[in-house]
Structure 1
Amino acid sequence: MLSDGASAAVRSAPSAVGVPTQIDLGVSGGYEVVAGTALGFVVGSLVVYLFGRLLLVPGVTRAVSSRNRNNPTLQTAAQSYTHAFVVVVAALAGVVGAGYGAVLTNGALIIAALTLVVGVAGQEVIGALISGLFLVADPDFNVGDWISWPSGEGVIEAVDFRVTRVRTINNETVTVPNTELATNVLKRPYGREQYRITERVDIAYHDDAELALRELVETVREDDRILDDPEPTARIIEFTDNSVGIRAEFWVQSPMDVDLVDVRSKFRRRVKRRFDAEGLTLGPASGQEVSGHLDIDLVDG
């Protein structure tokens, strides 16, 4: 039997079992708050993203495509930019769903966030984004066009936020920063309905130049892909130390739809066969001669 003092001490002592029970309840409550916040963010962002990805992006793309059937650049750009807009809105919806919607009304916090984004992105990335907008708005810069810039050439496949994807003549895909295309001179060698092809050959001085010119024109006419109007021509363009330079000029229709590499290759093969048959010398060897004498003295022993 305990005394009154011992009984009071026992009553005043904390329960060894009660303390862990209270801590477990606190941790469990914290987990529930975190789980609820995460669930709200996921549900809010997912609902908005699915709605935008399945309905808004296709709808905007179709609307832009119907109004700009001859400008595939706007079509791909509309899809990319609309998708990016959906992602941003979905993230904001997730923030609201997580219960932090009040953050979006804090002007100072928004300005600080934008300042951080601009500082992290840097001038180069922002310049690429602005350059991409200018390229998309340029009516002479379209998906499917063949372009040439100081460091390469190829067919435009897509214009993204930061880079433009270009397919080269070797069927390689290269990504070119939009700033490089926006700040340099761009050429569109096949931007017209007709394209002129020039091919040079060299013959020896003792060959019949008039015959060579006629043979070049006749060789051009053998390819149905080459136009009769403008007429193909051949002319002498240069006299070198060892040869006479002549050039054939001819035109093709819709150069983006014609295999120009094949046109050039078959033309050269026909020229080789014709010139061999006519006895014309292609790419004559150097006509320089080396003369002199050599003395040899024999020494006995």
Structure 2
Amino acid sequence: MVGQISPPGWLTEVVAAYEQVFSELFWFVVGFAVVYFISQIFIVPVVLRVIRSRNRNNPTIETATKTYLRVILIGLATLTGIIAAGYGRILSESAVIIAAITFALGIAGQQVFGSLISGMFLVADPDFNVGDWIEWPGGEGTIEEVDFRVTRVRTPNNESISVPNTELTKNAINRPYGRDRYRITEQVYVAYYEDTERALMELQQVAVDHEAVLGDPAPNARIVDLGENAITVQAEFWIENPRNTDIRIVRSDFRRLVKRRFDEEGITLAPPSAQLLSGELAVTDDRP
């Protein structure tokens, strides 16, 4: 009868170590998955439903709540997985590990935490909402979403850009229009010898006749500057939501119509130089 050959001791230890690793990994995945999927199925929809019912006119709160709630739940699921894997005691008793984690987060997470805090300030701002058109030193566009680190903006070129939240909180933000209208200002330089009142009337009429310009509020025109070489007149009019209207085309069409109207009415735009020469030149033949 042949005796059984037992495996070497080191192999037994390696197998036991791998079994422990896989067991800990299994319980980590189980703990993480249970908390994460239960929260996604039950907690997130309920919270979003409550937020949506109480903030029907403010989609910013809903999108921000969804983002921040997802981050919190992932952190909670991770912590649950660590405890389920049997490492809860190490986290609670090892001051070295806690200090190392705190130091790493403090060094590597400064910018992330700064963006997070900035995003919270943006969400709390009642004048900063999804769907608003904003202008800041770095660009302009429609707010699509306030995320954990960045704010996503749709530009006039129909490009989606990600703007760091810190850039929006540290710079001045201009909101040139309400939720459904956008104000456009266009300036024209008129020569001093022209009838300024007639120029204002024609400029305003061009805006009134433009199909993209809203009738309420009505377009207007006014003098904004008496320059050294020309009089600056300005037209102000409103169009629909920039998300539905190409601002560049509206501006181009308006300028083209102004040039055509002024040519038809004989209104001279400002000369390209500081001096305007006029006169006649006659050539005669005085030879006998």
What is the TM-score when the length of structure 2 is the normalising length?
0.80
Asked whether 1:76 is paired with 2:76, we answer no
How far apart in 2 are the matches of 1:33 and 1:228? 75
Q: 1:221 aligns with which of 208, 229, 254?
A: 208
Task: State the 1:77 CA deviation.
Answer: 0.9
How far apart in 2 are the matches of 1:35 and 1:229? 69
Residue 167 of structure 2 aligns with an amino acid whose one-letter code is E
Cα distance change of structure 1 residues 45 and 109 upon mapping to structure 2, 3 Å threshold: farther
Q: What residue is the counterpart of 2:197 in the other structure? A: 210
Task: State the 1:143 CA deviation.
Answer: 1.4
Alpha carbons 1:60, 1:82 under 8 Å: kept: no
Task: State the 1:68 CA deviation.
Answer: 1.0
Alpha carbons 2:64, 2:146 under 8 Å: kept: yes
Q: What residue is the counterpart of 1:98 in the other structure? A: 85
Q: What residue is the counterpart of 2:114 in the other structure? A: 127
Q: Secondary structure at the match of 1:268?
A: helix
Alpha carbons 2:51, 2:62 under 8 Å: kept: yes
How far apart in 2 are the matches of 1:210 and 1:257? 34
Deviations, residues 59-101 of structure 1 (Å, cap 9, x unaligned)? 3222211211111111111111111122112212221222223
Alpha carbons 1:242, 1:285 under 8 Å: kept: no
Identity across the alignment (%): 52
Q: What residue is the counterpart of 2:264 in the other structure? A: 277
Asked whether 1:44 is paired with 2:37, we answer no
Cα distance change of structure 1 residues 158 and 245 upon mapping to structure 2, 3 Å threshold: same
When the two chains are superposed, the root-mean-square deviation of aligned CA atoms in Å is 3.1
How far apart in 1 are the matches of 2:164 and 2:238? 33
Q: What residue is the counterpart of 1:27 in the other structure? A: 14
Task: State the 1:235 CA deviation.
Answer: 3.3
How far apart in 2 are the matches of 1:89 and 1:146? 36
Alpha carbons 1:190, 1:256 under 8 Å: kept: no
Asked whether 1:190 is paired with 2:177, we answer yes
- How do 1:105-120 residues align onto structure 2 when only pairs under 5 Å count? 105-106=92-93, 108=95, 111-112=98-99, 114-120=101-107
Deviations, residues 196-216 of structure 1 (Å, cap 9, x unaligned)? 432222233454433322222
Deviations, residues 33-52 of structure 1 (Å, cap 9, x unaligned)? 22211111122212222222
Unaligned runs of 5+ in 1: 1-16, 290-301
Cα distance change of structure 1 residues 253 and 31 upon mapping to structure 2, 3 Å threshold: closer
